[in-house]
Amino acid sequence: MTVDRVVDMKQVSKEEAWKLFREQVGELVDSPEIQPYARIIVEECGGLPLLIIVTGRALAGVNEASVWEDATREFVLPSTPQIYDVEAVVQRMKFSYGRLKAYDIKSCFLYCALFSEDREVDISELVKCCIQEGLISGNWSEAYQRGHDIVKTLVGASLLQSTNGGLAIKMHDVVRDLASAIMSGAEGLQFMLRLYSRSTESLNLGTNPSYKPIESPESNRSIPEGCGFLLEGGVGLRELPPKREQWERGKIIALMDNERLPENPSSPNLLVLFLERNRRLRVIPSSFFDSMPCLSFLNLSKTRINCLPQSISKLKRLQFLILRDCDCLVELPSEVGSLGKLEVLDLRGTEINSLPNEICRLASLRYLEVCFYGSISPNEYAYLPHELFSVGIVSTLFSLETLSIGVYPGDQRWNKSIKAITMEVCSLKILTSLNFCFPEVELLDLFLRTCPKWNDQLLTKFKFVVGYDVKRIVSRVPSSVEFDYNQHGRCLRFVNVKIVPHVVCEVLARTTAFYLDHHLSMLSLFEFGVGNINGLKLCIVSECPRIQSIIDGNKLAETVFPSLEYLSIQYLRDLERIWKGNIPYGSFSKLRILLVHSCPKLEFVFTSSMLPFVSNLEELVVEDCPAVEVIVLHQDDIMDSEIVLLSSLKKLTLHHLPRLFNIWEGAWPSLECISFYKCRNLKKLGMDSKLKYSLKEIKAEKHWWDALQWDGSSLFLDLEAHFIPV
């Protein structure tokens, strides 16, 4: 990646423009087949350094003349206005955006425009936000790495600027105009509504916006008009940012990271309003929604509001009401019942303690997600509403396709009404996704026997908690592990139970992600039946005090866990082996990630005979296991010293292993990252000295690194590797 330079909008000469373009693309522009097209593109850049750099980097490495010919046709505008016209610059920069092939790269680029103007955004913060917003897929570790790779791609394309020594990024004003222009069209709108809307057609937004600029009063930039899009991402305003006429003709308005709203804006054309991430916004003026008759989409996520104004009832055409992570919001007004066209109501992460009865009037509601606040403290519990919502409400919401009800663990209000609510859920005719808590196994049995959608296998997504859950101040399972669990569409968490009921096994047989939590009597997962666990892709086993091995091979006659990709083992005090005995060929064949945490009796992770079964393992984490002495225990069998153990392994993390003295003997794979911490007895690595060893990252304590001795005469490290003290 070349070093980023500060550029402005001043023109350079034709000779300087060509030289700058050639620096970005490389010597391939000298090719007789390519140079004519390159000259035309440079001419169209009008001598503007930023446009030259962004366009050049978009074409770097492209040596097919036909691609350059197509690029020329795409880059050259039918009519060429003055190059100083921001519209023309933005139009040409769209070419570079179009060269971003992957959808997640484009989405992350647009998301960057939603941060405050001129703000330097920490890259780790940006990546975490993109993951939480669902812009990057995969498990947490993969998504986190993918996010950093995306940032590198965008910086390499000069669509983002690297700052603070490479730890943060910012967006150039002209590039922000590009993002605004894209978000004013259909593609941008689909990005903004990505989590909720199946189609943008019902919002009647123009898909071919013109680019007559609206002047933004708080900056020197121009905002593309088109369908009336106005983006003022976090300029820290305490007064109304747009002019009154902009509210009047705007169809899409996005105001993030601001503090105040106008009292009564007149917005007869407004369809979409984004007010999310206004963490200082506490009050919505009482008459704020009085003059927004066409508003269809309202996003108030991550604000500090504690209530909605009564004027919310004026939004007769509202289809989407997003209140996710409004952690001060404690109740919904009864006026919500007036929103007859409402299709999506998202209340995740709020402090809602009950739903008003008027919810039953939302006949068009197809998506409802709510997480209720509760308490098991007698003093606080006495002041909470007597019920979470009235019996009979769920059955009136006959259009529901997605229903998610999260309850406070141990909330007696849920336990009192769950049976009736379960029967109502079973009556929903078009339900396809359900998130539900069954505090007693008998209630799950009732659901399975009564629900036609389950019996006909039409409930395509489910997330069930079965058993008596308890509220923990801090979860002992890492948040990244729970994130990975929640990415699956069919999840079962089985908690605080002593037996293995057949109804749980029935659900387990359809489950892809299983979370076994506080099972008090189980000795091995074999007790669920091999056929019921073989469809799992992810499995978490946590705080099961009697488990001695995850799988007992001595009792197996068939392949086990052939589809399992992710296994997390947490706080198993009696665990002695991952598996014992001989297991059939094909078992664990797809396992990519293994996490082992706080297992005090575990002395090793693998035996040498186990390694062929986990040949696809990519990440291994072993933490807080005080008895572990080696990672791979070599048995009496003779192994070829030239064979690379765990050949697919990319990341190895070994933390808080005080008795660990060696990892394994023999050849090592080409790891990307290795991390050691609090492994005081680890003085050497059993590496084959003939192996060229490549690392991107080495994390370890400085004193350990200084004392480390390598087995063999030498160890070759890739030049990209860097040592990171921890």
Per-residue confidence band for 720, with pLDDT thresholds at 50, 70 and 90: very low
> What interhelical angle do 35-44 and 14-25 show, nearest 10?
120
- Average of pLDDT values for 323-349? 94
Which range, of 183-187, 338-342, 559-563, averages the lowest pLDDT?
Answer: 183-187
- Distance separating alpha carbons of residues 71 and 549, to the nearest angstrom: 60
Distance CA 245, CA 695 (A): 58
Amino acid at 336: V
| Residue 110's pLDDT band (cuts 50, 70, 90) | very high
pLDDT category of residue 537 using cuts at 50, 70 and 90: very high
DSSP state of 447: H
* Lowest model confidence (mean pLDDT) among 291-300, 525-534, 579-588: 579-588
Q: In this predicted structure, what is the pLDDT of residue 278?
A: 87
Question: For the stretch 668-707, what's the b/e string if a residue is b when 16 or more beta carbons lie within 10 angstroms of its beta carbon?
Answer: bbebbbbbbebbeebeebbbbeebebebeebbbeeebeee
Q: What is the pLDDT of residues 266-305, one digit of tens each?
A: 889 899 898 988 888 899 999 999 999 999 999 999 999 9
Is 73 exposed, middle or buried, given 0-12, 13-18 or 19+ CB atoms closer than 10 A? exposed
Instruction: Let me know: does 248 contact 264? Beta carbons within 8 Å.
Output: no
For residue 293, the model assigns a pLDDT of 94
Predicted local confidence at residue 450, as pLDDT: 95
Residue type at 127? V
Among candidates 402, 376, 401, 406, which has minimal Cα distance to 388?
Answer: 406
* Rounded CA separation 109/175 (Å): 10
Res. 341 pLDDT band, cuts 50 70 90: very high
Q: What are phi and psi of 233, to 5 degrees?
A: -80, 95
Q: How many CB atoms lie within 10 A of CB 368?
A: 23
Q: Which residues contact 137 (CB under 8 A, 6 or more apart)?
A: 104, 143, 487
Structural tokens at position 27: 């010597």
pLDDT in the model for residue 104: 93
Answer yes or no: are the C-beta atoms of 338 and 321 closer than 8 Å. no
pLDDT in tens, 421-473: 999 999 999 999 999 999 999 999 999 999 999 999 999 999 999 998 877 76
Averaged over 175-192, what is the pLDDT? 82
Helix (H), strand (E) at residue 377 = none
Per-residue confidence (pLDDT) for residue 574, from 0 to 100 = 95
Q: Is the pLDDT of residue 84 over 70?
A: no
DSSP bridge pairs for 533: none
Of 274, 220, 265, the closest CA to residue 246 belongs to 265
Task: Determine which of 70-74, 294-298, 390-394 has the lowest per-residue pLDDT on average.
Answer: 70-74
Structural domains for the chain: 12-92 (1.10.8.430), 472-602 (no CATH)
- Split at pLDDT 50, 70, 90, the class of 240 is very low
Can you name the residues that pair with 652 across neighbouring β-strands? 620, 674
pLDDT of res. 221: 37
pLDDT > 90: percent of the chain = 52
Q: What ranges make up the beta strands (E) of 235-291?
A: 252-256, 272-274
pLDDT more than 70, % of the chain: 83
Task: Report residue 493's pLDDT band, with 50, 70 and 90 as the boundaries.
Answer: very high
Contacts of 312 (CB under 8 A, 6+ apart): 289, 333, 335, 336, 338, 339
CA distance 22 to 504: 64
Structure tokens at 562: 């052939």
What's the pLDDT score for residue 7? 40
Query: In which band, very low, low, confident or very high, does the pLDDT at 562 lie, cut at 50, 70 and 90?
Result: very high
Strands (E), 442-592: 461-466, 490-497, 513-519, 538-542, 549-552, 566-570, 577-580
Angle subtended by helix axes 479-486 and 140-156, to nearest 10 = 90
Which DSSP helix (H) or strand (E) runs through 176?
helix 173-183
Q: Mean pLDDT, the chain, as a whole number?
A: 83
pLDDT in tens, 11-35: 888 899 999 999 999 889 889 999 9
Residue 81's pLDDT is what?
52
Q: What is the pLDDT at residue 462?
A: 97
**pTM, entire model:** 0.85
pLDDT value at residue 474: 62
Residue with tokens 């259909």: 186
In tens, the pLDDT along 116-163 reads: 777 899 999 999 999 988 899 888 988 999 999 999 999 999 999 999
